[in-house]
Structure 1
């Protein structure tokens, strides 16, 4: 039996839609999905009890999908079943995103649960190689994407982010803890004439079962507002949510969407 630990955004709905049978839908309090009925709501302070409940229900696999922020932990609400996990949770809360998620994966696996990736359940979320839009990248755009790969690799070693914007070989902005939308918003007042690409890809050594980067229709709108000319993503490393809508928006706004090979 599969349990979907759902966060906000449209990814949880896409995962449920790809399954033949409805999973048990779970969510952390305060981060419930907008479009799904949640069966189990839990708090981080009762994670141990939540794990025991999953096993009692016959759950053997979990999939984590959707956005979740780091919650504020109330020490007074930590229950006895969660107390042994406190050192791991504390370390995770002090780590970068990838480090924190690796710790969470370890907790679930130690409980005997198999962690499945969202794109493993819904493989159509990963688009094919090549240009998906009417507009195509120029040689300069592809060179900027090459430059972005190096920037993202350096960011990944520091466990910082999964996206950056590059124009004429120069970094315009890099993703931080505030996410891609915030990064693109920061470029709406850029002092130059515009241009450049948004590049998105996973961190070099991240566990791809969770937090695989994604783009959606809002990413297209934000990229245009930032003055960029296109989006480049890594094949097999970035999910495209509502792909038909994304491509249609790119075509309407004159943006290109290019899927490039994974950098070696």
Structure 2
């Protein structure tokens, strides 16, 4: 029997829908998945008890899927079954994201569970190589993708992210702990204040815009070049180098398509076999409506 250790977002629901038998859904407290009712909720401090419960219910396979924020351990919430794991959990939480996930996988495997990747449990989430949209990458996309690969490899080696935004030979933004959508939101022009809105802080706005957005995005925001300039550059997203692909494999979906459009980019480049596409039909349709491309680069 399969159990999902589920976090936020729509990935857990997509993995569950791909199973012939509904998996047991275990949601981390404070990280409820979208569109999928958990069978149980647990805290990290109860991991030992959770594993005992899973064994009692006949679970042999576990899939880690969905977004989580790094938790703080409350020693007062520890259960007896988790006490022996405290040193390993403490050490894991001191590591970067990839290291922490590797440590968690090792704990699960040490208890006899087979850890299954989300894309193994739901293979259709990995799209075929090629251009999936009506729009195709422009002549500069190959060079932008090569630069994106260099940037994300450098970031990933430091366990810092899986995505960046590139326009020409400039790096517009790098993904941080807040995720891809938040990175893209920094590239979108600020909304005009409504009649009832309080005036914004000009220094905060300037700081936001002067960072990653300075460069190619500045040309767009100033109106130079018109629509063609607004639709230039790309989002590049791939796994980190040498990451354990049984957890935290990157994904895009309809929300990503909307964020890329709002950021003024021309499309998305992802690695074939390395990035999942959630609700593929809706994602491609959203990109087609905006005239953007999706290139699954082999």
CA displacement at 1:250 relative to structure 2: 0.6
Q: Please give the residue correspondences for 1:161-180 in structure 2 after superposition, counting only pairs within 5 Å.
A: 161-180=161-180
TM-score scaled by length of structure 1: 0.96
Secondary structure at the counterpart of residue 27 of structure 1: strand
Indicate the residue corresponding to 1:95 in structure 2.
95
Distance 1:95 1:54 in 2: 26
Distance 1:134 1:12 in 2: 29
Indicate the residue corresponding to 1:216 in structure 2.
253
Indicate the residue corresponding to 1:231 in structure 2.
268
CA displacement at 1:19 relative to structure 2: 0.7
Distance 2:25 2:128 in 1: 29
Render the CA deviation track for 1:161-190: whole Å, top value 9, x for unaligned: 000011112111110111001100111143
Indicate the residue corresponding to 2:29 in structure 1.
29
CA displacement at 1:80 relative to structure 2: 2.3
Render the CA deviation track for 1:112-160: whole Å, top value 9, x for unaligned: 1000011111111111111011110012012101110011111111011
Indicate the residue corresponding to 2:186 in structure 1.
186
Distance 2:66 2:46 in 1: 20
Q: Please give the residue correspondences for 1:1-264 in structure 2 after superposition, counting only pairs within 5 Å.
A: 1-189=1-189, 190-193=217-220, 194=230, 195-261=232-298
Distance 2:219 2:239 in 1: 29
How many residues in Structure 1 have an aligned counterpart in Structure 2?
261
Distance 2:276 2:14 in 1: 11
RMSD across aligned positions (CA): 1.1
Render the CA deviation track for 1:16-59: whole Å, top value 9, x for unaligned: 11111111111111112232221121111111111111112111
Render the CA deviation track for 1:224-249: whole Å, top value 9, x for unaligned: 11111110000000000010001111
Distance 2:183 2:34 in 1: 24
TM-score scaled by length of structure 2: 0.85
Indicate the residue corresponding to 2:227 in structure 1.
none
Render the CA deviation track for 1:207-240: whole Å, top value 9, x for unaligned: 1111100000010111111111110000000000
Distance 1:240 1:132 in 2: 11
Secondary structure at the counterpart of residue 127 of structure 1: coil
Distance 1:255 1:178 in 2: 24
Distance 1:60 1:33 in 2: 22
Does the aligned pair in 1 maintain the 2:13–2:34 contact within 8 Å?
no
CA displacement at 1:6 relative to structure 2: 1.5
Runs of at least 5 residues in structure 2 that lack an aligned partner in the other structure: 190-216, 221-229
Distance 1:182 1:9 in 2: 14
Does the aligned pair in 1 maintain the 2:270–2:297 contact within 8 Å?
yes
Q: Write out the 4+ residue segments of structure 1 that deviate beyond 3 Å after TM superposition.
A: none
Runs of at least 5 residues in structure 1 that lack an aligned partner in the other structure: none
